[in-house]
Structure 1
Amino acid sequence: MKITPAVRRRLEKAARRAAEASYSPYSKFPVGAAVLTSSGHVFTGCNVENASYGLCNCAERTAIFSAAAAGERAIKAVAVYTPTPTATSPCGACRQVINEFGPTALVISVCDGSDRIETTLDQLLPHAFGPGNLG
């Protein structure tokens, strides 16, 4: 599936919608994500917090884990929405998980302002550790 401007808009809209389901009572920072798999399916996720902060899960990983649970193994693109005036890229843990399923995936970050980040995972996480490093 080609990642056309229409596909980009669809992913961005899905990420914004996913943030509405966020469980973020502590940070008050609802994040939404949408991943496009190589089969053309879109999976969404939101951040889920926990009183024990180390047990929180980011929106990107929630979406990717949902895709993996459905049998998907390859990600072509990830869109992330944050309720900020400037776009925010995925955290390091999410970058590592994206790398597992899409080492060259397109990563789009959007926000409430006009700012956006559009890059690829290999640009966000150069020299990444991945399945190929395990021999």
Structure 2
Amino acid sequence: MKKHLILSQLALCASLAFAGVSVQAQEVKGSAQAAQGKVWLCVGCHSIPDYRADYPFTYKVPMLGGQNAAYIASALAAYKKGERKHPTMRSVAASLSDQDMADLGEYYAAQTASSPNNPLK
């Protein structure tokens, strides 16, 4: 009887651990609609054609409209982790959750380079 109880408890622990890993492994789904309230962080630089930022070096700021959503989210995550070095982008990305990054990726993927501020029109 005691052996059966121990095996039951082990099976329960294993299934709970597996369920936790499954939930954690699920990918965050982005929403272009949700990003509309978050994009103000980006448009000041990324919606200006041929814009160049000059701190601490001169950077040609890319237009983001039409970029792949996963690429945008991945780039933001790399800034947040310190794998990419631009100081302004690192500070902006540090304030973003994984959901924010996925939403911003979808927002810019829904656009073209010539429609940087109105992806849902």
TM-score (norm 1): 0.27
The structure carrying a bigger helix percent of its residues is 2
**Between Structure 1 and Structure 2, whose CA radius of gyration is higher?**
2
Greater strand content? 1
